[in-house]
């Protein structure tokens, strides 16, 4: 993979451009449905070799670059919720919340959306929602958006929004209400075109929608025949060109969750607002 840094793809540890306060320029009355939000896929998978690594920036660097959606995989491990994979990250869910709250303390006009999914339940599936709420309460309930409805930006500045990829209505917004494109399986490098077609279709639908639903597009994909960085290089390049050649007006792209995004690609999404 190497430490490559391009406009659309970055495998280094430090973003070339930082934009930690971009939401402060967006009006309070704007619904989250109307925003274009840069995000990452498998946001804490910073290790694991070519077949598993999905990001090179840690969470704080992602937030400073302008990332506002993160995708967190959790599993029950030693009586707590740990980041998956455990071998790569000896941190519990606490670490994610601590890093996020520390960022929001210094950038109180911003909002962080955290998609939570249970990577493997090990028979603890029924406990998962209760464990999530325990961590939320320990971190401080005032940091979180509690309702299932989609808010305006003004209602949630300085807060974390949990996007629930599990059933129990504990806290936050259910992902099942979103329009999602998440074709993660890319059999070979020759199938990247099919992946891009899925991405482009969801983005175009988001652009032309009435703005009453949230769209979430994962540009990431992988398999033993197409490593994450290989897919990311191709898809990020196509995405950057697609966004650059869109009409120079405000565009609603929804949430775009990427692997190894380059700083210029992140800024291009932000500028769509």
Instruction: Note the pLDDT tens digit of each residue in 8-21.
Output: 999 999 999 999 99
pLDDT < 70 stretches in the chain: 85-90, 120-125, 169, 247-248
Q: Which of 111, 46, 137, 112 is nearest to 84 (CA)?
A: 46
Q: Which of 223, 222, 225 is nearest to 258 (CA)?
A: 222
Structural domain range at position 78: 22-271
Polymer length of the chain? 273
Residue 61, in any domain of the structure? yes
Residue 16, in any domain of the structure? no
Q: Which of 51, 116, 58 is nearest to 89 (CA)?
A: 58
Residue 1, in any domain of the structure? no
Going by the DSSP 8-state scheme, the letter that residue 42 receives in this structure is: S
Residue 118, Cβ density class (10 Å: 0-12 exposed, 13-18 middle, ≥19 buried): buried
CA 57 from centroid of its chain's CA atoms: 13
162-191, pLDDT tens digit by residue?
998 877 767 899 988 899 999 889 999 999
CATH number, residue 42: 3.20.20.190
pLDDT, residue 119, reads 77
pLDDT, residue 166, reads 78
Residue 9, in any domain of the structure? no
C-alpha span between 208 and 197 (Å, rounded): 17
Residue 14, in any domain of the structure? no
Residue 12, in any domain of the structure? no
């Amino acid at each position: 993979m190497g430490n490559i840094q391009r406009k659309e793809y970055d495998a280094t540890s430090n973003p070339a451009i930082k934009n930690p306060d971009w939401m402060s320029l967006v009006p309070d009355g704007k619904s989250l449905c109307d925003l274009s939000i840069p995000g990452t896929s498998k946001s804490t998978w910073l290790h694991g070799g070519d077949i598993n690594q999905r990001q090179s920036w840690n969470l704080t660097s992602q937030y400073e670059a302008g990332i506002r959606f993160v995708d967190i995989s959790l599993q029950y491990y030693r009586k707590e919720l740990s980041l998956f994979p455990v071998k790569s990250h000896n941190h519990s869910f606490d670490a994610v919340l601590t890093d996020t709250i520390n960022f929001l303390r210094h950038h109180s006009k911003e909002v962080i959306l955290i998609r939570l999914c249970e990577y493997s339940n090990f028979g603890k599936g029924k406990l998962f929602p209760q464990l999530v709420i325990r961590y939320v309460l320990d971190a401080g309930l005032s940091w979180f958006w509690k309702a299932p409805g989609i808010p305006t930006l003004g209602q949630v500045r300085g807060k974390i929004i949990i996007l629930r990829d599990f059933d129990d209505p504990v806290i936050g917004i259910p992902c099942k209400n979103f329009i999602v494109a998440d074709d993660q399986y890319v059999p070979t490098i020759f199938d990247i075109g099919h992946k891009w077609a899925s991405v482009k279709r969801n983005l175009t639908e988001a652009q032309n929608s009435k703005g009453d639903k949230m769209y979430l597009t994962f540009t990431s994909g992988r398999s033993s025949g197409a490593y994450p960085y290989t897919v990311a290089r191709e898809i990020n390049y196509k995405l950057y060109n697609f966004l650059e050649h869109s009409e120079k007006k405000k565009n609603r792209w929804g949430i775009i969750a990427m692997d190894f995004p380059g700083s210029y690609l992140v800024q291009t999404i932000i500028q769509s607002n």
